Amino acid sequence: MRAFVERRPVWSAIIALVVLVLLYLIFAIWPEWLVDAIGRKKVFLNALFNGITLGGLYFLVASGFTLIFGLMRNVNLAHGSLYLLGGYIGFFVADSTGYWLLAFPVAFIAVGFLGVLLQILVFRQMEGQDLRQTLVTIGISIVMADLMLWGVGGNFFNISPPSWLSGPMETGLVTSQRVRSSGEVVTSYLKYPMVRIVIFAASVAIGLAMWLVLNKTRIGMLIRAGVDDRDMLSATGARIQLVFVGVFFFGAGLAGLAGVVGATFQSAAPGEDTRFLLASLVVVIVGGMGSIPGAALGALLIGLAEQFGSVYFPTYAVVLTFLIMVVVLAFRPQGLLGR
Amino acid sequence: MAMIDTSSRAKVDRRLWIEKIPAAYWIVGVILLIIPSFASDFIMFQIFGWTFILGMIATSLMFLGGYGGMVSLAQMTFAGVAGYMVAIFGDSAIDTISMGWPWWVAIPLALIIAVLFATAIGWLAVRTEGIYTIMITLAIAAAFFYFTRQNYDVFNGFQGFNSVFPPQLFGVDWRQPEAFYYLTLFWAVLTYFAVLYLSRAPFGLALQGVRDNPRRMAALGFNVTAHRVAAYAFSAIPAGIGGILLTWQSGQISPGTIAIQPAIDILIIAVVGGLSHPAGAFIGAFLYVILKTFAVDFLIAMGLSGDRFQLLIGLGFLVVVAFSEDGLLGLWKKLRESRKKDPLTGEVTE
């Protein structure tokens, strides 16, 4: 961090300023002129929290995508279909057993195995032919989308979280303070859905665990070596195909896991697959291909942009997301944290 | 990939230019010209009109992908920009937005805007290579789709524009099946030969050089980025003409016309046909239209629901991609080479 400040003093100052303004906006009681300028604090805080939690969901989807891409240079455009499949599996598991938590491991393992099948049957057969792999995954995503539509129909499926997670949570953040005519001061606090906070915490935990595994374990060392130079790693005798299968399992499983989260947050329905595929594409383009911290940063940016956009300029919310991508591409084609 | 035939140029050819046209061109040309004499209105307007339009848009992708090595999913977006601009500058039922300018202003303006748009997109997309290009153009296509769906001031949101019809030029109603057939045929043939010509012109040759080895071309003094961006700009012309014709054919343009699914359909058409020659795009388009029109009947006859059309398209696409690196054209080439082989020695006889 000190090295970053020394190398880029201007950028550090800008980042510090933004953080300070953000802290003020979150914790201070807004004066009248600020409320007049950008609306009530409650709206702002809700958009901020929604953006951050949506970013957590985007991170779960995009990190699997970027992990697979970083190691194997495979662009898996069927990633959105894996996400949606996870959502459906999660819904049926939670619905039939009544255990919400059970949905996560089942979706993770089932979708992970599908990912292993993809890796063995498709990607390994066409190693080094990027374009063909991409085209095949487009074909697979079309077939999967139609099979899922055939299997479960076009309805919206929403997983309801268990009772101990539903309902709002007191955050302790002041949204407004008014003085009544009787002289009594009324302070209202922000309430936020418990389940979103828990899920966000879980996705942060998963992200941290991934970072630890990648940086502190032997397997992580193998993966990082594979990202840097695949041929050299296999020449040193590492069983690289096994690493590939493992990473594909994990990456696809993460998409399935994210599907369950998405079906709890919003819903699982046809069309969500393309939406999340696009979201993860934009996230990894902004963050940098193959970089896990990049995926986290990109997911946060895109999630915030989407939510703030839909609150403050509803018509052009999508364009804001796109604008971020264009600016990043124009000035840093490899992505914010890409190499 | 693309073969540049120079062997015939070595020996002096003393035949008349009319004799040099291969027999296949004569046969296809005559058939296409006389189709209106026996085909029904539906076949002319819906099947062939649509084939030529989709073929043109797919040719623009084939040009970028086959000669430039840049597989773009934004071609349908370029087509959509031109279609929208014709609806905005020309006439439509939404007269609060449509300006009602005459066709000789609206159409060139629409094409110019499509080319400018494609140049801007191309400038962004060429900063990346290979598979990244697909992802970025896909994201661009999606952004434009969502933008048109949410913007009501210029693009009229979800509804789009309806009653967008071709002008009554020379006293002909160009939306009559026969007139529309010849209109689309004319532009399709022009597109086909323009792309074929360009592939052998200096610009096309340089573009193919850039595709095969950008570093060497840069070392030879070619501006790699400029060639790529110019390829995007050119590709917007056939795509834009196709987009305008598509708008006229269905009489409307809405975000659904340029959604992600149609964009991927264009890719499927071009890849299934083959990216090495413009003929592939039209073959792919013909197959796609036939499938799209008759697959429902076929599926019901097989005892399946007609809704499984996408499954059929997806599986067909998977099979073609899995077995051939260059679509149907590649399969055809393989077949011809295997027939030319001597069964005893295995040598290829010319």
> Could you tell me the pTM of the whole model?
0.81
**Cβ neighbours of B296 (radius 10 Å):** 17
CA A65 to chain B, closest CA, distance in angstroms equals: 12
Q: Are A82 and A111 in contact (CB under 8 A)?
A: yes
Q: Are A207 and A63 in contact (CB under 8 A)?
A: yes
Q: How far is CA B332 from the centre of its chain?
A: 21
Average pLDDT over residues B176-193: 85
Give pLDDT, residue A179.
72
Give pLDDT, residue A225.
84
Express each pLDDT in B254-267 by its tens digit. Answer: 888 888 888 888 98
Both tokens of residue B106? Answer: 């609206």
Determine, for residues B130 and A289 on separate chains, whether the beta-carbon distance falls below 8 Å.
no
Using pLDDT thresholds of 50, 70 and 90, give the confidence band for residue B119.
Answer: very high
Q: Are B3 and B205 in contact (CB under 8 A)?
A: no
- A318: nearest CB among B71, B131, B146: B146
For the ranges A231-240, B10-19, B177-186, B205-214, the lowest mean pLDDT is seen at B10-19
Q: Which of A318, A319, A321 to mutate to test the interface with B (most CBs of B within 10 A)?
A: A318
CA A267 to chain B, closest CA, distance in angstroms equals: 20
Determine, for residues B318 and A140 on separate chains, whether the beta-carbon distance falls below 8 Å.
yes
Gap between the Cα atoms of B256 and B27, Å rounded: 37
Gap between the Cα atoms of B275 and B66, Å rounded: 5
Average pLDDT over residues B109-122: 91
What residue of A is the nearest CA neighbor of B72? A131
Average pLDDT over residues B159-184: 78
Give pLDDT, residue A332.
80
Identify the three-state secondary structure at position B345.
Answer: coil
Give pLDDT, residue A82.
92
CA A175 to chain B, closest CA, distance in angstroms equals: 31
Gap between the Cα atoms of B209 and B230, Å rounded: 14
Q: Where are the alpha helices (DSSP H) in B90-164?
A: 103-125, 131-150
CA A328 to chain B, closest CA, distance in angstroms equals: 10
Give pLDDT, residue B233.
92
Helix (H) or strand (E) holding A191: strand A185-193
Give pLDDT, residue B112.
92
Give pLDDT, residue B347.
66
Instruction: Please list every residue in chain A whose beta carbon sits closer than 8 Å to the beta carbon of residue B146.
Output: 318
Give pLDDT, residue B13.
64
Task: State chain A's mean pLDDT as an integer.
Answer: 83
Q: Which of B73, B131, B315 to mutate to test the interface with A (most CBs of A within 10 A)?
A: B131
Q: Are B330 and B271 in contact (CB under 8 A)?
A: no
Express each pLDDT in A90-118 by its tens digit. Answer: 998 988 888 888 888 999 999 999 999 98
Asked whether the predicted pLDDT for residue B113 surpasses 70, the reply is yes
Put residue A153 in one of left, alpha, beta given phi > 0 → left and psi -120 to 50 → alpha: left
- In chain A, what is the straight-line distance between the N-terminal and C-terminal CA atoms, in Å? 18
Put residue A192 in one of left, alpha, beta given phi > 0 → left and psi -120 to 50 → alpha: beta
- B135: nearest CB among A136, A140, A281: A281
Angle at B261 between CA B84 and CA B294, to 5 degrees: 105
Determine, for residues B313 and A315 on separate chains, whether the beta-carbon distance falls below 8 Å.
no
Q: Which has more pLDDT, A330 or B145?
A: B145
What residue of B is the nearest CA neighbor of A284? B135
Percent of chain A at pLDDT exceeding 90: 9
Identify the three-state secondary structure at position B348.
Answer: strand
Both tokens of residue A163? Answer: 């009772």
Strand B161-162, strand B252-253: pairing: antiparallel
Give pLDDT, residue A45.
82
Determine, for residues B127 and A333 on separate chains, whether the beta-carbon distance falls below 8 Å.
yes
CA A186 to chain B, closest CA, distance in angstroms equals: 40
Average pLDDT over residues B195-217: 88
Instruction: Please list every residue in chain A whose beta carbon sits closer than 8 Å to the beta carbon of residue B268.
Output: 138
Give pLDDT, residue B346.
65
- Taking an 8 Å Cβ-Cβ cutoff, which residues of chain B contact chain A? 71, 124, 127-128, 130-132, 134-136, 138-140, 142-143, 146-147, 150-152, 260, 264, 267-268, 271, 305, 307-308, 310-311, 313-315, 317-318, 321-322, 325
Dmax over CA atoms of chain B, in Å, equals 74
Asked whether the predicted pLDDT for residue B4 surpasses 70, the reply is no
Express each pLDDT in A156-188 by its tens digit. Answer: 888 887 777 777 777 777 777 777 777 777 777
Radius of gyration of chain A (CA): 22
Give pLDDT, residue A306.
87
Q: Which has more pLDDT, B317 or A339?
A: B317
Comparing C-alpha atoms, which of B331, B318, B250 is closest to residue A122?
B318
Q: Are A102 and A159 in contact (CB under 8 A)?
A: no
- Taking an 8 Å Cβ-Cβ cutoff, which residues of chain A contact chain B? 75, 77, 129-132, 134-136, 138-140, 142-143, 145-147, 149-150, 274, 278, 281-282, 285, 289, 314-319, 321-322, 325-326, 329-330, 333
Gap between the Cα atoms of A140 and A118, Å rounded: 9
Both tokens of residue A281? Answer: 């594409």
With helix as H, strand as E and coil as C, how does B169-222 read?
HHHCCCCCHHHHHHHHHHHHHHHHHHHHHHHHCHHHHHHHHHHHCHHHHHHCCC
Determine, for residues A143 and B311 on separate chains, whether the beta-carbon distance falls below 8 Å.
yes
Q: Which has more pLDDT, B90 or B206?
A: B206
Instruction: Please list every residue in chain A whose beta carbon sits closer than 8 Å to the beta carbon of residue B321.
Output: 132, 135-136, 139
